[in-house]
Amino acid sequence: GTAFDIAGKGIASEVSLLEALKVAERYLKEDLK
């Protein structure tokens, strides 16, 4: 995803990275249902 691409390039701030992780966790939980 775009958020991960930006984080991977070191452009995103630490807060943005944490937000991206929260979104990823949400998707993973949805996949487990």
Identify the pLDDT of residue 11: 58
Helices (H), 1-33: 2-8, 14-32
pTM of the predicted model, to two decimals? 0.46
Range 1-33 burial, b when 16+ CB lie within 10 A, else e: eeeeeebeeeebeeeebeebeeeeeeeeeeeee
Q: What is the per-residue pLDDT across 14-32, written as a single tens digit (0 to 9) for each?
A: 777 788 889 989 988 888 8
Identify the pLDDT of residue 10: 59
If residue 1 lies in a helix (H) or strand (E), which one and from where to where? none
Q: Where are the domains of the chain?
A: 2-32
